[in-house]
Structure 1
Amino acid sequence: MKQQIEPLVSVGVASFNNAAYIRETLNSIRGLHYSNLEIIIVDDASHDASIAVIEGWLAENSALNARLIALPVNKGLCHVCNTFVRESKGKYCTLIGSDDIYLPNKLATQVPVLEAAGPEAGVVFSDLSKIDPQGNTIVASIYDSGQIIPAEGDVWLSLLRANFIGTMTTLVRRSSLEKVGPYDESLVYEDWDMWLRLSRVCKFIYQPEVTALYRIHGNSFMHKRYRQIVESNMRILSKHLGVSAEADAIIGKHFAQYSEELYRLGSTESVRWLKERRRLFPDRRGLALLWLAKLGIPANALVRANAVVSQLVGKPRKENEAV
């Protein structure tokens, strides 16, 4: 009987200043129980020892179908993702950060799921564990607590409510990526926008097992550049306005939260997004914040003023409260 050939899977590693962790990431890819791989490491102009570590690992593992693309100038995560997709040739693609870890069965279980599904299924994703810098488990399952709830099938509205998918847990059909086009390089992060766009052209499949470890540490992207992340959230959501009343209601609630956060953070885009908030979520609080932003009154000035007033007039005494 002729042995069935496994489809090629392209594994992308998004590398930036994770010299302390990337060898462990690469070793986890080497340890996958799946043989037909191409490994493409895209380094976004790291200024630590990442390149030296990667080159050393490649020399030690020269038998693998693996290569490094070292970008001369830092272009951001979405550019890294586009570089990987453009340079890769696999039927399926998966992407991991240079501080995270794959578990051995990730592709051995996920590839058959997409192979068995029809072409309308474009993404399979799974559970993940969170680990600390030393690799100790912080959260065994992101879904067990019930705070994040996975959905499958037509997941667009569910994804509008919250991004419940970890990038490193996904396996994506290349033909689905080609339908939605490249990652949006105006954004500072890649995943929510791509999942939302994909969810409008294909179905998602949830695989209920942990397939990857997500490392939390001081250099993690989400610990930095918070204001730019919130601004990206607003631009992502704006792409989906006007599709349905239900979706606009979800987006309006997000705008109420995010526009207020941007005002508090001193974003130069506060007025723009507070206007959009006013249109979608016309409450009095939003109107007041819009006028304050238009007048150039920073949020921290209001906080200081409120503290001074509280000191001058004293805290209001509740009924039956002792003096």
Structure 2
Amino acid sequence: MISVTGQFNTLPMSPYLNRIKPWVSVICTSYNHQAYVEQALKSVVDQGYPNVELIVIDNGSVDGSVERIAAFIEQYPSIRFIHNPINIGLTRAFNQGLALAEGRYIIDLSADDVLLPGRISKQVALFEQLAGPYAVVFSNAAYVDTDGQEIAHHYPVNAQGHARSPVPSGNVFQPILESYFICTPTMMMRRDVLNELGGYDETLAYEDFDFWVRSARLYHYAYLDEVLMLKRQCPDSMSAQVIWPDNNLLRSTLKVCYKAYDRCATPDEYQALAGRIRTFIRKAFYVEQFDLALQFGELLRHIERPGFFSSLILGLSRLHLPVNKAYRQYLKWYPASQSAKPV
């Protein structure tokens, strides 16, 4: 393979040392990201790590993204490019790249996000130091708006740039059931683990919750306490779609919750999942997917008897009340109440 970073060093031992460093495959998926894709790709080729493979998949863009990618590849011909004439879905597009990837480690990069300098080197260094069944190294991220202005951090930081509160590490299966605490694009994953799991589940609309449930039951995660990623928040992003009645994200979430239920092994894990299911009952109700709210309720009954509020929401779901418009208006007034992720 030829690295896209083109890193060279004049020290006598550097060529040998670079050759023995593990390869990292960055799989970048793009869909109508013409405004951002060049910055995303540039953030990969500018990494100071010697062995980086870059695979780009355009998923049926209609906005000029393909032309931007093609122009970029003219400067870096070692980039591998797949152009899908139609959008085949995020999970399937990623798996196209995974089938080609040869690196020991994988980064799943959206074409509107940005790797910060040193990210690959630092995450590989931690991975190579770890002992035991570790499958993922993840980090902190800064959220930026469409203009690239920083608006928040995934984990609030102190003056030294470190997370103010402890971040789960090691066995994270129960914390993953309790809440969305990992910023997905900060992850570096072992390719052999992804292959063992069969890649992303192509029947789902999104990837992260399912990957966490399936991998964290078997492997550990390690947190690297640095801001190593810029995660862009756009009004038309997938996470923003979860408040609309026609979204299919929550249906995928129900499938993942059943997978999680099958993998729970302790009363605390079941209770963590129950808490998450109660949240999804409310979300399904607010987007008027009433049948789905009732299906979440059925799964909840496998764990516990629904409490008063959950029972109330389930009862109201049978009435098919038109609540979504009021819900979206509420989120305009109190945007902080809406999670940045679909799950």
> 2-side partners of 1:303 and 1:72: how far apart?
35
Give me the TM-score of the superposition, normalised by structure 2: 0.80
> 1-side partners of 2:129 and 2:288: how far apart?
50
Show the counterpart of 1:307.
none
Greater Cα offset, 220-229 or 26-35: 220-229
How much has 1:214 moved relative to structure 2?
0.5
Identity over aligned residues, as a percent?
A: 25
Instruction: State whether residues 281 and 313 of structure 2, in contact with CA within 8 Å, keep that contact through their aligned partners in structure 1.
Output: no
Change (3 A) 1:41 1:277: same
- Structure 2 unpaired stretches of 5+: 1-11, 327-343
> 1-side partners of 2:43 and 2:88: how far apart?
26
1:230-309 equivalences in 2 (<5 Å): 230-241=250-261, 242-267=264-289, 268-282=291-305, 283-294=307-318, 297-300=319-322
Match among 122, 140, 143 for residue 127 of structure 1: 140
Which amino acid letter does the alignment assign opposite residue 243 of structure 1? A
Q: Secondary structure at the match of 1:269?
A: helix
Change (3 A) 1:148 1:236: farther
Change (3 A) 1:208 1:259: same
> 1-side partners of 2:124 and 2:325: how far apart?
53
Q: Secondary structure at the match of 1:142?
A: coil
Show the counterpart of 2:214.
197
User: C-alpha offsets along residues 129-170 of structure 1, whole Å, 9 cap, x if unaligned?
Assistant: 111111111114534387985211111111111122222211
Q: Does 1:87 align with 2:100?
A: yes
Which amino acid letter does the alignment assign opposite residue 271 of structure 1? L
Which amino acid letter does the alignment assign opposite residue 151 of structure 1? P
How much has 1:279 moved relative to structure 2?
4.1
Match among 155, 159, 179 for residue 162 of structure 1: 179
How much has 1:207 moved relative to structure 2?
0.6
> 1-side partners of 2:175 and 2:292: how far apart?
27
Which amino acid letter does the alignment assign opposite residue 293 of structure 2? S
> 2-side partners of 1:292 and 1:158: how far apart?
30
Show the counterpart of 1:321.
none
> 2-side partners of 1:292 and 1:207: how far apart?
44
How much has 1:259 moved relative to structure 2?
1.3
> 2-side partners of 1:78 and 1:143: how far apart?
30
- Structure 1 unpaired stretches of 5+: 305-323
How much has 1:186 moved relative to structure 2?
2.1
**Across the two proteins, how many residue pairs are aligned to each other?**
300
> 2-side partners of 1:58 and 1:38: how far apart?
13
Q: Secondary structure at the match of 1:299?
A: coil
Q: Which one has the largest radius of gyration?
A: 1
Q: Secondary structure at the match of 1:90?
A: coil
Q: Secondary structure at the match of 1:57?
A: helix
Which amino acid letter does the alignment assign opposite residue 264 of structure 1? Y
Q: Secondary structure at the match of 2:35?
A: coil
How much has 1:302 moved relative to structure 2?
11
User: C-alpha offsets along residues 215-257 of structure 1, whole Å, 9 cap, x if unaligned?
Assistant: 1122222112444333322321221215322111111122122
Instruction: State whether residues 149 and 164 of structure 1, in contact with CA within 8 Å, keep that contact through their aligned partners in structure 2.
Output: no
Show the counterpart of 2:71.
56
Instruction: State whether residues 148 and 164 of structure 1, in contact with CA within 8 Å, keep that contact through their aligned partners in structure 2.
Output: no
> 1-side partners of 2:324 and 2:47: how far apart?
54
> 1-side partners of 2:106 and 2:324: how far apart?
48
Change (3 A) 1:301 1:11: closer
Change (3 A) 1:244 1:55: same
> 1-side partners of 2:239 and 2:86: how far apart?
21
> 1-side partners of 2:56 and 2:67: how far apart?
13
**CA RMSD between the two structures:** 2.4
1:144-159 equivalences in 2 (<5 Å): 144=157, 150-159=167-176
> 1-side partners of 2:115 and 2:323: how far apart?
47
Instruction: State whether residues 96 and 167 of structure 1, in contact with CA within 8 Å, keep that contact through their aligned partners in structure 2.
Output: no
Which amino acid letter does the alignment assign opposite residue 258 of structure 1? F
Which amino acid letter does the alignment assign opposite residue 89 of structure 2? G
> 1-side partners of 2:208 and 2:65: how far apart?
23
How much has 1:262 moved relative to structure 2?
1.0
Show the counterpart of 1:209.
226
Change (3 A) 1:147 1:272: farther
